[in-house]
Structure 1
Amino acid sequence: MIRINTAFDSGNIDVIEASSSDNIRLTIRKDHQSDFYQWFHYKLFAEVGEEHVMIIENAGKSAYPDGWKDYQALASYDRDTWFRVPTEYDGEKLTIRHTPEQESVYYAYFVPYSYERHLDLIQQAQQSVDCYHELLGETLDGRELNLLIIGEPSDGKNTIWITARQHPGESMAEWLMEGLIGRLLDDEDGVARKLLDENVFYVVPNMNPDGSVRGHLRTNAVGTNLNREWAEPSLEKSPEVFYVLKRMQETGVDMFLDVHGDEALPYNFVAGCEGIPSYDERHKHLEETFKNALLAATPEFQDAFGYEKDEPGKANMTVACSAVGERFKCLSYTLEMPFKDNADLPDEDFGWSSTRSQRLGEDVLTAILAVSPILRKV
């Protein structure tokens, strides 16, 4: 008996046919009120020891079809350990082949980060004396938009904002946040203690909880791409950005890091805001200091591959990195991680993983420590 279920947090797949194990035909649902789709997450009940061939028929028309090249889907029996399974892409269809060893197995585009885990992360963080939990507002589906303020605010400290998961299918972003927050709240970690002596962190672990729960790739509850709303956010379309930007205006911003995942590129990299009107040598020096420190901190990061840099004055000012960098004249970066693997350090069994994302989050703090003394220097 073959059964496929998606009635859970971030579930997404539609079944065309599942009458035989060698021809399970599926399609990914589009984000609500949007044409974006790529995220999938479903549970299979199947015969143990029998190969199951699952064909996602609309993969070739997804948001980022290049993301399927050299991609291997993830599977898990316990929803804790996720491993890669044989996956092929022919330019139109994505075929996943797997022989289950247990009665049921989950499959996903990347390791899911559940809303329940998000709530646990927030509640655990607020147990620290160094952390204050603030409710910024509610999303369109009525969920909380949570902010963690880590460190004691004061005029002499740098204000560092870190946001993640504007695009909900990029779940590696919240895994990175979990690692970063965990280290920052470790009072026996010297890097964390030094950082909190000189900086206060404003951390939004999940900018898009509605899209996360709905199983969206890129948009919120009404099909809005939040990372194109930073010029003029609205309560009707993008309250998540509206509330965050409003709070930023109250605190000021000395450094901004917006965490994402990239479907196609098998590397960790950053994208700056060279194209904003106010970009200058100071800004460039801050960027180089951060990048060089992260390169020294971990071999998981590199600067050879990434996005093409914007020409001067040609930045998209609706994107968070550019909008915040220009508004606050601050160091502003987008940090990207792969859905596939880090080609510089490949792992055949797990690829880029939740654990590696967490470790990168820890290492990011080392890079912030290196750049923080010069964030306010003219």
Structure 2
Amino acid sequence: MKINSLFDSGNIEVVSTDDTSNITLNIPADSNSEFKQWFHFKAHGEVGKEYGFEILNAKDCSYVDGWENYQAVASYDRQYWFRVETEFTADKTLKFKHQFEQATVYFSYFEPYSYERHQNLIQVAQLSEDCEHRIIGETVDGRDMDLLVIGNESKERKIWITARQHPGETMAEWCAEGLIERLLDPTDALSRSLLEKAVFYVVPNMNVDGSYRGNLRSNAAGANLNREWQNPSLEKSPEVYHVRQAMQQTGVDAYLDLHGDEALPYVFVAGTEGVPSYSSKVKELEDEFKSILMSVNPDFQDKFGYDKDEPGKANLTVANAWVGEEFNCLSYTLEMPFKDNANLPNSETGWSGERSYVLGQTLLNPIYQLIDKLR
């Protein structure tokens, strides 16, 4: 058995492969940070043989609740990812096993979204006459901060979408891809109508360094970007600094920040109830947004989610809270599961990149319905 993680978003530490019936592993921490949970590696073994893998430090990972009822994902072609039998044991290790149908299998915490795919998304999107690609700054490692401006900036309403502040939450960029591709579809009447009234500013990956390094939650400097919005710096969190600066130049009428949640097996949103400027108008927009999204995509629900902040108690270092307060607008964090959607389970794939992509497409429906009410 040979295991390798020296590739884009790879992350694993091999403890022992001596016992081929049970290969032991650890998950390394994020760059300059104590967060850990993301793993991604390839295993080369014997066709037809069943191998077991055990992550010894699962109990020390950042979100231990995330291992309950969790199933790891695997792929032979790095295109189709399926779930494999996984157990969080009584002694708090994570075990999964798989009988190899081919010699090499990739395993991951969730379906990856590669830096190569990210660059392809940007390059293809800019071919549309409705899209302009802008580089608004550099990351800690010197990678480009990519912004897609979709539509005419003379339009009154400004819609901002950011994704993947936490790099291991790859479902966020799958979701952003679905939204972008629908928005740029010249045959989609809803998208065409939206662009008659609004311009979209989309950052498909806020944390390209962390994504490439195989981090769960941090950028290259070890910063949790979704706790940097009140006072970002060029040294520690340039990604937030540059996006925030661009927002202040354009203004924001509605904002969606796309994420994944390790523990909760649902799709849900978190609003801005706790910000000082929260108003009845924003509440009405939030309620309508949820109602419309539930009507067009049953993967979304509003029963399970985070506890609502008390009035005036919001954490303004978090993106949706800072944006909601700064611009007094509809501002949501959208969360997707790493596990499966418990309301609509799929035993073969669980929650997946494809389902995230479709959710991204349907996010345009509530925006379309609310576009005239945003100002």
Q: Note whether the superposition's TM-score is higher than 0.5.
A: yes
Separation (CA, whole Å) in 2 of partners of 1:129 and 1:62: 45
C-alpha displacement of 1:61: 1.1
C-alpha displacement of 1:33: 1.1
Moved over 6 A (4+): none
Indicate the residue corresponding to 1:287 in structure 2. 286
- For 1:332, what is the secondary structure of its paired residue? strand
C-alpha displacement of 1:20: 2.4
Cα displacement string for residues 297-324 of structure 1 (whole angstroms, at most 9, x for unaligned residues): 1111000000000000110010000000
Residue 71 in structure 1 maps to residue 77 in structure 2 = no
C-alpha displacement of 1:36: 0.1
For 2:171, give the aligned amino acid.
Answer: M
- For 1:207, what is the secondary structure of its paired residue? coil
Cα displacement string for residues 129-154 of structure 1 (whole angstroms, at most 9, x for unaligned residues): 00000001111111110000000011
User: Where does 1:219-298 land on structure 2 (aligned, <5 Å)?
Assistant: 219-298=218-297
- For 1:256, what is the secondary structure of its paired residue? strand
Question: Considering only aligned residues, what root-mean-square deviation do their CA atoms show, in Å?
Answer: 0.6
- For 1:52, what is the secondary structure of its paired residue? strand
Check the 8 A contact 1:25/1:56 in 2, yes or no.
yes
Indicate the residue corresponding to 2:93 in structure 1. 93
Residue segments in structure 1 that go unaligned for 5+ positions in a row: none
Separation (CA, whole Å) in 2 of partners of 1:193 and 1:80: 30
Q: Percent identity?
A: 60
Indicate the residue corresponding to 1:11 in structure 2. 10
User: Where does 1:20-35 land on structure 2 (aligned, <5 Å)?
Assistant: 20-35=19-34
Residue 148 in structure 1 maps to residue 148 in structure 2 = yes
Residue segments in structure 2 that go unaligned for 5+ positions in a row: none
For 1:189, give the aligned amino acid.
Answer: D
Q: TM-score, normalised by structure 1?
A: 0.98
Residue 185 in structure 1 maps to residue 175 in structure 2 = no
Indicate the residue corresponding to 1:126 in structure 2. 126
Indicate the residue corresponding to 1:136 in structure 2. 136
Check the 8 A contact 1:21/1:51 in 2, yes or no.
no
For 2:165, give the aligned amino acid.
Answer: Q
Indicate the residue corresponding to 1:55 in structure 2. 54
Check the 8 A contact 1:147/1:202 in 2, yes or no.
yes
C-alpha displacement of 1:21: 1.8
Separation (CA, whole Å) in 1 of partners of 2:89 and 2:3: 24
Separation (CA, whole Å) in 1 of partners of 2:332 and 2:192: 23
Separation (CA, whole Å) in 1 of partners of 2:273 and 2:132: 34
Cα displacement string for residues 32-85 of structure 1 (whole angstroms, at most 9, x for unaligned residues): 111100000000001111111100000111010000000000000000000000
- For 2:116, what is the secondary structure of its paired residue? helix
Cα displacement string for residues 100-140 of structure 1 (whole angstroms, at most 9, x for unaligned residues): 11000000000000000000000000000000000011111
Check the 8 A contact 1:295/1:301 in 2, yes or no.
yes
Indicate the residue corresponding to 2:345 in structure 1. 346
- Size of the aligned set, in residue pairs, is 374
- For 1:227, what is the secondary structure of its paired residue? helix
Cα displacement string for residues 191-218 of structure 1 (whole angstroms, at most 9, x for unaligned residues): 1001100110000000000000000000
C-alpha displacement of 1:157: 2.1
